[in-house]
Amino acid sequence: MKLSIIGTGYVGLVTGACLAEVGHEVVCVDNDAAKIKLLTSGGIPIYEPGLEELVKKNAAAGRLSFTTSTAEGVQKSDVIFIAVPTPPQPDGSVDSSFIEKVARDIAAALTDYKIIVDKSTVPVKTGEKVAETIKRYCPATADFEVVSNPEFRREGFAVGDLLKPDRIVIGTRSPRPIEAMKKVYAPFHAPMVVTDINSAELIKHASNSFLALKISYINAIATICEITGANVQEVAAGMGLDERIGRRFLNAGIGFGGSCFPKDLSAFIKIAEEIGYDFRLLKEVQHINAGQMDRFVKKITDTLWVLKDKKIGVLGLAFKQNTDDIRMSPAIELCQRLQKEGALLRVHDPKAMNKARAILKDVTYVEDMNTVTEGCDALVVATEWDEFKQLDLERARKSLSHPIMFDGRNLFDHAEMERLGWVYKSVGR
Ligand SMILES: NC(=O)c1ccc[n+]([C@@H]2O[C@H](COP(=O)([O-])OP(=O)(O)OC[C@H]3O[C@@H](n4cnc5c(N)ncnc54)[C@H](O)[C@@H]3O)[C@@H](O)[C@H]2O)c1
């Protein structure tokens, strides 16, 4: 099928590449001319495992192309996906201006029947507004239908998640777009939930808020474990074997971040508020999340006392492992909190250092994780990259003035670290 994606970011580029990989002809559109230039010349603007190969392979096969022209994308496709940002406004509500702008751009380019699919995370009833807007701005000859198709893939695992999705949600009751969407996704062999557009939009906010809630729940349990001397990892293991609960998203730490959970949570709280429901449960999820960072910083200051002029090595800047995405990253927030106290930081991240340089200033960026601790007073682990488990602990221990590690992601075994001579402080253990 002929498809276009408006917005070639973390969602749009991976979606475009995966749809091309299963045989569709995909045009990726972005109004960032530098990004499109990079992509057309064979570069990749983001890090996502497996993405570069997929983009190169499908571009070379002629199934994946890039342009800055929305009109070109619309004209060359039957189904147009929208994957532009929906950032938070200062009051937590969603800034829908990117979606509205794209709706007008699509309307201006419409000549015959097209299916317009919203993949961005949007407040319930946005699909109706997109349809109204396109109707208002399109020529009388044009015809279209709007579908909601929220995206559930995880950054860092996006290619695998997209090629093997656990479900595909299609929000429309109209037979023609249902049939088209089933054709788009047939090669993925995934269960499909076909529902009305409002329910599809709600499924996304309800899912992300639930996952954030699960993280805050285990973080609250971690606090109780710290007070009682229990071990949150063992509690999580015991809970997680119950099939009704499951082990995933039960990892205690310094809290969730990233471009989705914090913004989707505030958006959902705001959406509820606007329709007269006080979603206090989700406000508490936010409250617990903020408390995790406060408690971790306090753990560091309780141990090191005055941070002014203390040298601290930090492993991790990305908001999670396997990505270079630092948007709303707890690791960056932690670095900034430590800097505010006067600490001098040496930082390392396998993929996120280039992006971090733009916002995290006055730190020393270290290419080799094994040298991050040189001349430092303590080591902090802020992101759960698997490779950090391979840290040369003996070398790190010897290079620190005193072997203190604050592990905000519980990467190491507590008893083993103590046996190796570390003062080891983690979360909920
Ligand atoms: N990042 C994720 O893992 C993820 C997962 C699920 C859902 N989402 C949702 O998907 C949406 C996109 O997120 P993202 O992370 O891909 O954002 P992003 O910022 O990485 O990418 C968005 C792209 O849209 C482009 N853009 C903005 N306005 C445009 C316009 N008028 N015309 C053409 N291009 C335009 C930007 O230049 C950018 O490249 C958001 O609503 C987000 O909440 C993101």
Q: pLDDT for 56-88, tens place per residue?
A: 999 999 999 999 999 999 999 999 999 999 999
Dmax over CA atoms of the chain, in Å, equals 75
- pLDDT-based confidence at residue 235 (cuts at 50, 70, 90): very high
Beta strand residue intervals within 283-407, DSSP E: 311-315, 344-348, 364-365, 378-381, 404-407
Predicted local distance difference test score (pLDDT) of residue 22: 97
Number of other CB atoms surrounding residue 304 within 10 Å: 18
C-alpha neighbours within 13 Å on the C-beta side of residue 176 = 10
Is residue 11 a contact partner of residue 119, using CB atoms and an 8 Å limit? yes
- pLDDT-based confidence at residue 296 (cuts at 50, 70, 90): very high
- Mean pLDDT throughout 124-129? 98
- Ligand 1 atom closest to the Cα of residue 46 is 20
Predicted local distance difference test score (pLDDT) of residue 260: 95
- pLDDT-based confidence at residue 14 (cuts at 50, 70, 90): very high
Q: pLDDT for 363-407, tens place per residue?
A: 999 999 999 999 999 999 999 999 999 999 999 999 999 999 999
Residue type, 174: S
What mean pLDDT is reported for the chain?
A: 97
Percent of the chain with pLDDT over 70: 100
CA-nearest residue for atom 13, ligand 1, is: 85
Residue type, 217: Y
Q: How far is the CA of 45 from the centre of ligand 1 (A)?
A: 13
- Ligand 1 atom closest to the Cα of residue 105 is 31
- pLDDT-based confidence at residue 274 (cuts at 50, 70, 90): very high
- pLDDT-based confidence at residue 341 (cuts at 50, 70, 90): very high
CA distance 380 to 396: 12
Q: pLDDT for 191-203, tens place per residue?
A: 999 999 999 999 9
The alpha helices in 138-279, defined as continuous H runs, are: 158-163, 175-185, 197-228, 232-240, 261-274
Choose the residue to mutate in 4, 6, 27, 30 for probing ligand 1, maximizing ligand atoms within 8 Å of C-beta: 30
- Mean pLDDT throughout 282-301? 98
CA-nearest residue for atom 44, ligand 1, is: 11
Q: How far is the CA of 176 from the centre of ligand 1 (A)?
A: 27
Ordered domains of the chain (ranges, CATH):
2-195 (3.40.50.720), 210-425 (3.40.50.720)
Report the candidate in 112, 142, 116 with the shortest Cα–Cα distance to residue 131.
116
Q: pLDDT for 31-61, tens place per residue?
A: 999 999 999 999 999 999 999 999 999 999 9
Predicted local distance difference test score (pLDDT) of residue 278: 98
With a Cβ cut-off of 6 Å, ligand 1 is lined by 6-12, 29-32, 35, 70, 83-86, 98, 101-102, 120-121, 151, 155, 259-260
CA distance 429 to 252: 10
Predicted local distance difference test score (pLDDT) of residue 282: 98
- Ligand 1 atom closest to the Cα of residue 84 is 24
CA distance 69 to 77: 13
Predicted local distance difference test score (pLDDT) of residue 19: 97
Local structure of residue 411 (DSSP, 8 states): -
The catalytic residues are: 260
Predicted local distance difference test score (pLDDT) of residue 355: 97
